[in-house]
Amino acid sequence: MSEKEDDRKPFLSKKFDKFFTGLANAWSFVRRFFSEVFIPPYEFKEIIHQCYRIGVESLPLISLTGFIVGLVFTNQSRPSLSEFGAASWLPSLISIAVVRAMGPLVTALIAAGKVGSSIGAEIGSMKVTEQIDAMEVSATNPFNFLVVSRVLATTLMIPLLVMYTDFVALMGSFLSVNANEMVSMSTFFVQVFESITFLDIFSSVMKSILFGFTIGIVGCYKGYNSSKGTEGVGQAANSAVVISMFLIFIEELLSLQIVNAIRGM
């Protein structure tokens, strides 16, 4: 559409137009991912490199946050449970809260901030400095090399990181329970595993895969479509974080509904 035609439209309709063209573009980007993911060449080296990078980038922050979340949540829940003389239920409560909700959510939000923004910025700067064009003119497929490998890496790594966060958070919680209720590690973990079901673990893994996919594809999409100039790179990184966090919350809500429906069956 030409600029002139665009100018004549009222403000709101322009906004709507932009929103829906954006949505259509994003959708075709996702479709392109699925059409290229199974086609060789497979960039194994790049996928492994990205997995490693994602792990290194987010591990310190995730360790710290997971541990503190477990510890603080336990300490905060203790008074209310003690009121009913149910302090011995702390491990069960914590394990349900961590495995079902907090582990995946905390990990995904941190990864969205660390990994999503760095993917957005990296691909964005490759776009504006014509590195993506350079790949294209040397008859290689930049989408396969850059996007497919990164999305696969986040999809693979976030579930692993979630398991790690779960473990660290439970350790934080154990520290508090051990100090206050004198519960041994084996007793603590027996209680923890008794209270979570297969469905909890399964849904947590599925959710994490979805979160990982979201972080990767949003970061790549924003970077790949960033506008010219260094400003565009910053914007790409920023909106990659905002949009993936927003989507993660929506997905969390939806998966809660689905899991509750299954549980009710």
Partner 1 sequence: MEEKVVEIKGLKKSFGDLKVLQGVDLDLHKGENLVVLGKSGSGKSVLIKIMVGLLRQDAGMMKVLGQEVSTLNTKALNALRLKIGFSFQNSALYDSMTVRENMEFPLVRNVKNLTRGEITKKIEGLLDSVGLPQSINQMPSELSGGQKKRIGVARTLILNPEIMLYDEPTAGLDPITCSEINNLILEVKERFNTSSIVITHDLTCAKDTGDRMAVLLDGQFKAMGTFEEVFTHADDQRVKSFYDYNFIHS
Task: Kindly give, in sequence order, each residue whose CB lies less than 8 Å from that of residue 46, ignoring residues fewer than 6 positions away.
Answer: 145, 149
In the complex, the residues that contact partner 1 under the rule CB under 8 A are 2-4, 41, 122, 125-126, 129-131, 133-140
Dump the DSSP string for 82-126: HHTT-GGGHHHHHHHHIIIIIHHHHHHHHHIIIIIHHHHHHHHHH
* Residue among 126 and 245 whose Cβ is closer to partner 1: 126
Nearer to partner 1, 139 or 261 (CB): 139
Contact 127, 226 (CB under 8 A): yes
Nearer Cβ to partner 1, position 109 or 240?
240
**Shortest reach from residue 226's CB to partner 1, in Å:** 16
Residue in the block written with tokens 């559409």:
1
Q: Who contacts 152 (Cβ-Cβ below 8 Å, separation ≥6)?
A: 37, 47, 50, 216
Q: How far is the CB of 201 from partner 1 (least distance, A)?
A: 36
Q: Is the CB of 146 or the CB of 157 nearer to partner 1? A: 146
Omega of the bond prior to 41 within 30 degrees of 0, cis? yes
> Residue 237 to residues 60, 132, 225: CA-CA distances in angstroms?
21, 17, 11
For partner 1, give the closer residue by CB, 47 or 205.
47
Place of tokens 């260094």: 230
By beta-carbon proximity to partner 1, the closer residue of 49 and 263 is 49
Q: How far is the CB of 149 from partner 1 (least distance, A)?
A: 12
| Spatial separation of the C-alpha atoms in residues 114 and 105, rounded to whole Å | 14
